[in-house]
Structure 1
Amino acid sequence: MTAHVEQLEFQAEARQLLDLLVHSVYSNKDSFLRELISNASDALDKLRLEALRNKDLDVDISDLHIEIEVNKDPRVLTVRDNGIGMTRAEVVDLIGTLAKSGTAELRRKLRESKNEAASEELIGQFGIGFYSTFIVADEVELLTRKAGESEATRWVSSGDGTYTIESVEDAPQGTSVTLRLKPEDREDHLHDYTADWKIRELVKKYSDFIAWPIRMQVERITPGQDGGKETITVETQTLNSMKALWAKPRDEVSDEEYKEFYKHIAHAWDDPLEIITMKGEGAFEYQALLFIPSQAPFDLFARDAKIGVQLYVKRVFIMGDCEELMPRYLRFVKGVVDAESMSLNVSREILQQDRQVTAIRRRLTKKVLSTIADMQSGRPEDYWTFWTAFGAVLKEGLMSDADNREQLLRVSSFASTYSDEELTTLPEYIERMKEGQEQIFYATGQSREQLLKSPHLEAFKVKGYEVLLLTDPVDEIWVGSVPEFDGKPLQSVAKGEVDLDSEDETSEAEREEQAKEFAELLAWLKETLSEYLSEVRLSGRLTESPACLITPTFGITPALARMYRASGQTVPVGKRILELNPQHPLVTGLQQAHKDRGDDPSLAQTAELLYGTALLAEGDLPEDPAKFAALLAERLVRIV
């Protein structure tokens, strides 16, 4: 008996993506089975946990397992589990995963990928492993019933842009995925998914460590005695060892086993950069197996990006994406933590208050950071790969983790004016500081190229001071939380006062004389531009440009204000400071013109243009671009 049957279409982008999957052939088609087994394992974990939490749930968890069934004629492969199952709404939501997984971006990267291996990695990276089944199957059927419910759901698609979904009765608890395999390629015996040996090979390679038994019925042929007729019996075999890798000594596990385990728990296709094993003894006993990936997932900067660490208690799965075990700035770390003592009926609220979880989190964080430091000092190529993928995320910890801020600063790398290609660390910067230099100078902006052209850097380059070039959006925020490193204050080249001539014995007298000479011009400019400026002063940081804008020492930079506004926060933007280059012809000419004809309205227009060009020089726009353009056009007319 069936009811409530619907035939639906995939969304446009999802349909195009399915077309790419169905009509593309990848060298490692085998991976689809790993994806199905991983999903089944997750369903079994969730059912056991739900049974422990919900005593009223009427389910049998005495024999949780995964079953693989193979039929040669017709060519059908089924992977089923007796796990948590799904409701109709959850199945529909699963289909929506394609649309949620950055489909357009994935399609673009698939087109741009240069080889088949890169394409495979992208499929795993975007979290659509289930849909890799269409690479080997002409039709996929999913039959599922949620534990504790009577109605089941069947979903069927051939990957042609449509699918059917219907409610059914009398289905077993759990989920089965049935693949009607593509016609046999008689020249490609290595990818015959109806062969028992092939299934055993794939389970051993990819899923040997799964905690649940993976079973398959196989035929056993026994030769007859004295030339008698052979007998064929069918027996059920368990294909995997079910050994928890995190509980085994490091020297008893191969790198390949660790890599496959990482790919299983992270739903990833890349190899990890680093494998971290830990064992805590004493008051808080636990075992941990962590991985630092080599590639960033597509949702690394998404608001709902998950922490990648799973929590077990005495081998019992408690929860995935356990935010309490790892700070958000280490959300790229994947792995498992298995504690010896903790309530199995644990909730996130309990975890947040648990002293043991807090202690484990602290130790895991320090271990990950020390591992990154070892990579930085001993394996610079791997460290560069890590920093390119995760550096911007790691720097988020500079704002939120005061306890580990010193270590975070040490393992961080930055572009600087010292080298066009190589990054530098803060200890290396300090080693190169000029004699008498007390501050670590930095500049923030959208790109290295923009910063190198900034007026703020002119005197620093001329006088040989190295400046850090910080171009990640997070840099605008964390620099406000980090006052110093190793006793050296951090100083923005675009904030507060910077005196690069302090060691010059005659500079103080010269500056006083210049201040008197330009006093009237400075006062007039401050009054004329009072809508925008809190102060106008002479600059010690300009050598080529006529003027630049400075944010007060404790003010909010325009870039930071834009970031806050983009996130929906309202922040007051204070007036800025205009600094003038007393050696520039435009400034000296404006000073003379003000002496000669201070009441000329055109001088006020020149002041507006001077202010507007200072904004443009730092990559910003005048408050009224149309007005600025009109003033500039009027002035150009006079010239031509």
Structure 2
Amino acid sequence: MAAKEHKKQFKAEIKQLLDIITHSIYTNHEIFLRELVSNASDALDKLRFLTAGGHDVADADAPLEIRINADADAGVLTIEDTGLGMTADELVANIGTIAHSGSAQFMKEAEASGESLDNIIGRFGVGFYSVFMVADKVVITTRSATPDASPMSWTSSGTGSYTMQELDGDAPRGTKIEIHLKEEAKKYAEERTIKDILHRHSNFINFPIMLADEQVNTQPALWREPKFKIKKEQYDEFYSFLTLDQTPPLETLHIAVDAPVQFTSLVFIPASPSNSLFDNPDNYGLDLYVRRVLIERKHKALIPEYLGFTRGLVDTEDLPLNLSRETLQQNLLVDKIKTTITKQVLAQLAKLTEDKERYAQFWTNHNKVFKLGYSDYINRDKFAELLRFNSSTDEDAQGLTSLAEYAERMKEGQKAIYYVSGPSREAVRLDPHLEIFTQRGLEVLYLYEPIDEFIMDALGKYKDFDLVAAEQADIGELEKFETVDEDEVKPEALNEEDAKTFEGMLSAIKEILGERVEDVRESKRLKGSAACLVTPDGAMSSQMQKYMQLMVKDSTPPVRVMELNRDHPLTRNLLRIFKSDAGDDFLKSTVEQLYESALLMDGYLNDPHAMVGRINTLLEQASGWYAEIKKA
């Protein structure tokens, strides 16, 4: 005959806390199953720890496992483990008192004995009470692993009280939780629903989880295994399981760290493009586990955004959680994990650069995301070494050059790494600012993405070399280098009178353009073009200025300096016209055309109608003169 039932009342503050837990904290009701399975795993871990230490336990030959059975018609779900079980006192302490950790005393005793505490971090109490989100009534039947312990039962509806009873007869070691589901929660007694939840949250629990005599968690927690025992095929298979990507990853990092935070991690660099991250900027992060139990998918705090192309998981022993396990209690530990993983990934990428073909594959697939790392000041030097750009020395737009390679090829006495921005290689090569670099045989990096300008601005330097936009280069420094075109034919120099007239023409052009330009001056950088626009000294590059204006939706052309190539045939012709008639309309039209052509090259010409009309007029005049000459 069973002993008399003992009815106990929850304290007022516990009633209030229970109400909060069951109605407010958990945003996803299915989490109750994760919590109960996790507690069952804790109990099995503790039992294994005791038996490993030589302690006698009841039912010593019983398999260590978790069994789940469901009666969909009755709306009853049963979760049973063969773990440590509980005595009457432990039942009151662990289940009858919210927010009390039954593992705390257990660990103190184990620590006093000098035995290892690995994997023995149990959390009873709070997680268990999430069951009342879905349950009308819960019945616990438990028997402690202590030999000769009596089985106990605990029953509650999660309201104001619970009852406890010592049971007669024998019972298997461990704990069985019988959940009588609320009407609206009976879906949790359906095997398909249960299996889906277990796959999402408890797939890597270290003990078999049996659902209707079928093991659900068949995928091993590969990250927990020693690295030397794992083959590449196993990593590839796990990656496919984790991501559903059938293409093997480009790189795999298996990380195991004991300090300052104990955690293990598997991080994969996919071989597939990561452009989808821009379609959904929040779709990145590593899965966070605590002792094989999933806490959050794609936890963004574990990896910086610029490494968001990585996929994988982190499993830690040290991370404390709040009541619901859904919100992290101390971000400091997560920051330490993030710092470690970031260093490891950057180191792996640095190693990957030794294989140019495979690194080119990485860069092609992930550079758009990786470039966001320009704001990571702490890892700036490592980030800089991993950057790649197309270069004037490359044969085509697919060529990739590192800053280190550029530095190795620099001319003796060169003090800066030069770059130019544009939408494509063909567009960049036509940029008039590059003409002096081509003439002097100086390499220039080609930047095709807006973010590249921000990268150069954020870095500022690479080792001892300044990063300088081609249009902002010190012309005096460039002229120190000899020309590489030995067949270059220089035009006849202007005589003293024409030189003074040219200065006067520059002033006249400044009057024609007015406030649209800051100044008009002779160009030292142009060799094949007649004119260009350059940013005033000390200002940001024209492309950077353009990007900044795009952010605020301002399309107003910036006020810049117009430079004229004194030796260009068109300029010499304008000089002849200016000498004859400083107010000639053809001169004014040509100046306007040169200015708007420069605007067009820089992407600032908003309305081309006036320009097209002017071109037609100039072509009409020029063709008339040409026809007269040919006729003659």
Q: Which band: TM-score by shorter chain?
A: 0.5 to 0.7
Q: 2:13 maps to which residue?
A: none
Aligned length: 453
- What is residue 154 of structure 2 aligned with on the other side? none
Q: String of CA shifts for 1:278-327, please: whole Å, max 9, x gaps.
A: 12223322212111111124512235342231122232322222221111
Residue equivalent to 1:547: 531
Partners in 1 of 2:325 and 2:552 — Cα distance? 28
Does residue 1:600 correspond to 2:584, yes or no?
yes
| Corresponding residue number in structure 2 for 1:173 | 188
Pair 1:262–1:242, CA change in 2 (3 A): closer
Q: Which residue of structure 1 aligns with residue 18 of structure 2?
A: none
Q: 1:335 aligns with which of 297, 308, 312?
A: 312
CA change 1:534–1:338 in 2 (3 A) is same
Go from structure 1 to structure 2 and tell me whether the alpha carbon gap of 1:347 and 1:382 turns closer, same or farther (over 3 Å shift). Answer: farther
What is the SS of the residue equivalent to 2:321?
coil
Structure 2 partner of 1:384: 360
Q: Structure 1's 619 and 67: CA in aligned 2 closer, same or farther, altered over 3 A?
A: farther
Pairing of 1:441-480 with structure 2 (within 5 A): 441-480=418-457
1:546 to partner: Cα distance: 0.7
2:348 is equivalent to residue 393 of structure 1: no
Counterparts of 1:255 and 1:480 in 2: how far apart (Å)? Answer: 41
Query: CA 1:594–1:68 in 2, change beyond 3 Å: closer, same or farther?
Result: farther
Q: Which residue of 2 aligns with 1:527?
A: 511
Aligned 8 A contact 1:536 1:580 in 2: yes
In the other structure, the counterpart of 1:501 is 479
Counterpart CA distance in 2 for 1:468 and 1:363 is: 32
Report the TM-score, using the length of structure 2 for normalisation.
0.63
Aligned counterpart, 2:12: none
Identity rate of aligned residues, in percent? 32
- Structure 1 distance, partners of 2:258, 2:250, is 27
SS at match of 1:540: coil
Instruction: Give 1:243 deviation, angstroms.
Output: 3.0
Match of 1:76 in 2: none
State which of 407, 413, 435 in structure 1 corresponds to 2:388: 413
Task: Write the distance in 1 (CA, Å) between the matches of 2:236 and 2:23.
Answer: 31
CA distance in 1, matches of 2:556, 2:207: 57
CA deviation vs aligned residue, 1:47-75 (integer Å, no higher than 9, x gap) = xx999954996945535899999xxxxxx
Report whether the alignment pairs 1:634 with 2:612. Answer: no
User: CA offsets per residue over residues 126-160 of structure 1, 9 Å max, x none?
Assistant: xxxxxxxxxxxxxxxxxxxx99479xxxxxxxxxx
1:6-405 alignment runs, 5 A limit = 54=26, 59=32, 61-63=35-37, 148=133, 171-173=186-188, 236-238=213-215, 240-302=217-279, 304-345=281-322, 354-377=331-354, 379-398=355-374, 400-405=375-380
Alpha carbons 1:441, 1:466 under 8 Å: kept: yes
Question: Of residues 608, 613, 616 in structure 2, which corresponds to 1:625?
Answer: 608
**2:409 is aligned with 1:432:** yes
> 1:539: how far off?
1.9
Residues 310 and 320, structure 1, Cα contact 8 Å, conserved in 2: yes
3-state SS of paired residue (1:555): coil
Q: Specify the SS of the correspondent of 1:423.
A: coil
- Cα distance in 1 for partners of 2:380, 2:236 equals 31
Letter in 1 for 2:363: W
Structure 2: gaps spanning 5 or more residues? 1-20, 39-65, 71-76, 80-130, 136-182, 194-198, 484-489, 624-632
Is the 8 Å Cα contact of residues 496 and 552 (structure 1) preserved in structure 2?
Answer: no
Q: State the AA in 1 paired with 2:388.
A: S
The structure with the larger Rg is: 2
1:20 aligns to what?
A: none
- d(CA) in 2 for partners of 1:597 and 1:497? 36
Partners of 1:245 and 1:512 in 2: CA distance: 82
Shift of the alpha carbon at 1:473? Answer: 2.8
Please tell me the residue identity of whatever aligns with 1:258.
Y
Question: 1:271: Cα distance to partner?
Answer: 1.2
Closer/same/farther in 2, CA of residues 458 and 173 from structure 1, 3 Å limit: same
Question: How far apart in 2 are the matches of 1:263 and 1:629?
Answer: 57
The structure-2 alpha-carbon separation of the partners of 1:630 and 1:362, relative to structure 1 and needing over 3 Å to count, comes to same
Give the secondary-structure state (helix, strand or coil) at the position aligned to 2:360. Answer: helix
- The worse-fitting range, judged by mean Cα deviation, of 300-309 and 402-411 is 300-309
Q: Give the letter aligned to residue 472 of structure 1.
A: E
Q: Which amino acid aligns with 2:524?
A: G
Structure 1 position 595, deviation (Å): 2.5
Quickly say closer, same or farther: Cα 1:485–1:170, change in 2 above 3 A.
closer
The one of 572, 577, 583 aligned to 1:588: 572
Residues 1:353 and 1:424: Cα distance change in structure 2 (over 3 Å) = same
- 3-state DSSP of counterpart to 2:277: coil
Change (3 A) 1:520 1:356: same
In structure 2, the CA distance between the partners of 1:356 and 1:602, relative to structure 1 (3 Å rule), is: same
Give secondary structure in 2 for the equivalent of 1:442.
strand
- 1:615-639 CA-to-partner distances (Å, cap 9, x unmatched) read 33x3525343111111111111112
Equivalent position amino acid for 1:432 in 2: R
- What's the secondary structure of 1:272's corresponding residue? coil
Output the CA distance in 2 between the equivalents of 1:263 and 1:372. 21
Residue of structure 2 in register with 1:124 after alignment: none
Post-superposition CA distance 1:522-563 (Å, at most 9, x none): 222222213321122222221111111222354355544554
Give, as a single letter, the amino acid of the residue that structure 2 aligns with 1:62.
L
Q: How far apart are the structure 2 equivalents of 1:502 and 1:409?
A: 28
Given that residues 390 and 445 in structure 2 are in contact (C-alpha distance below 8 angstroms), is that contact kept between their aligned partners in structure 1? yes
Letter in 1 for 2:36: S
Measured in 2, the distance between the counterparts of 1:533 and 1:352 equals 58
Aligned residue for 1:541, secondary structure, equals coil
Q: Once superposed, what is the RMSD of the aligned Cα atoms?
A: 4.1
Separation in 2 of the partners of 1:271 and 1:517? 70
Distance (whole Å) between structure 2 residues aligned to residue 519 and residue 240 of structure 1: 84
Distance in 2 (alpha carbons) for counterparts of 1:582 and 1:462: 17
Change (3 A) 1:595 1:309: same
What is the CA deviation profile of residues 562-586 of structure 1, one whole-angstrom value per residue up to 9, with x for unaligned ones? Answer: 5445555659863122121111011
The amino acid that maps onto 1:387 is: W
Contact 1:213 1:239 in 2 (8 A): yes
Deviation by residue 1:240-297 (Cα, 9 ceiling, x = unmatched): 5453211111122222222222223334332111111112223322212111111124
The 3 A distance-change label for structure 1 pair 298 and 610 is closer
- Judged with a 3 Å threshold, the aligned counterparts in structure 2 of structure 1 residues 517 and 478 are, in CA distance, closer, same or farther, namely farther
Change (3 A) 1:592 1:318: same
